[in-house]
Amino acid sequence: ERAALVAPNGAGKSTLMRLCAKEITPDSGLVVVRRGIRVAYARQSHELPAVGTVFEAFLSGFSDVLALRHELSEAQHAAATGTEAALDRLVRATDKYHLAGGDELERQVTMIAQHLGFTDADMERPMSSLSGGEQGRLRLGIALAQAPDLFLLDEPTNHLDLDTIAWLEKHLAGLGSAMLVVSHDRAFLDNVCNITMELGRRSFRSYPLKYSDYAIAREEDLERERELVE
């Protein structure tokens, strides 16, 4: 299911997302996420660590592969000596990286990065050099690269142009992941989400409708409720 989360400003949309991501704990009740479920959370605003390169940030959700990539890089430098031991080390490091799926992961990450406006040269830039808009696109890219079971997307179209938003809509629609999406872009919600969840100050409602149909159905519900009160 791909659900849009809507609510009045200040009702707690981002707080609910953080609860689902288990970044914070509820005052009461429980947050239950099935064991083994991979969750990726693209925050609306979050300072990324100013260490490493953009490419390493894209791979930050894959610590094992990133460690093997560093090992391979060190082995490549050492192999310049031409010694038999160094060449053997390079062969072993290359085999381990291939078996871990590093090559395919790099291909997928590069594709996502290009669609988000990062060039090959950008991938080697230090994280400390990124602007606020670039960080926003990178936060989204890191989540997309993980292809998780559950996406938590908080204003994912911020910092994106129309062509990139169109690509993102198609990309998300083609994934098998569940999604909870907060966005002020109503067209984006219509194109991505087939369910609309409404977080009120004292209630929670779920409509099996895209946002534009939800808005009509919700107004009809409100009218019936007003008639009952009168």
Per-residue pLDDT of the chain (230 residues; tens, 9 = 90+): 999 999 988 888 989 999 998 889 999 999 988 888 889 999 877 667 777 889 888 888 887 888 888 888 889 888 888 888 889 889 998 999 888 888 888 899 999 999 999 998 999 999 889 888 888 899 899 899 888 899 999 999 988 999 999 999 999 988 889 999 999 999 999 999 999 999 987 888 999 999 999 999 988 888 887 777 76
Helical H runs in the chain?
A: 13-20, 54-58, 63-78, 84-99, 102-115, 132-146, 162-173, 186-192, 211-229
Closest CA to 131 of 120, 122, 121: 122
Tell me the C-alpha distance between 80 and 84, whole Å: 11
- The pTM for the full model equals 0.81
Contacts of 208 (CB under 8 A, 6+ apart): 194, 195
Burial code (b: 16+ CB inside 10 Å, e: under 16) for 114-132 equals ebbbbeeebbeeebeebee
Tell me the C-alpha distance between 138 and 144, whole Å: 10
* 65 contacts 71 by C-beta, under 8 angstroms: no
Q: 3-state secondary structure string, 68-114? A: HHHHHHHHHHHHHHCCHHHHHHHHHHHHHHHHCCHHHHHHHHHHHHH
* 48 contacts 135 by C-beta, under 8 angstroms: yes
- Which bin fits 101, alpha (ψ -120 to 50), beta or left (φ > 0)? left
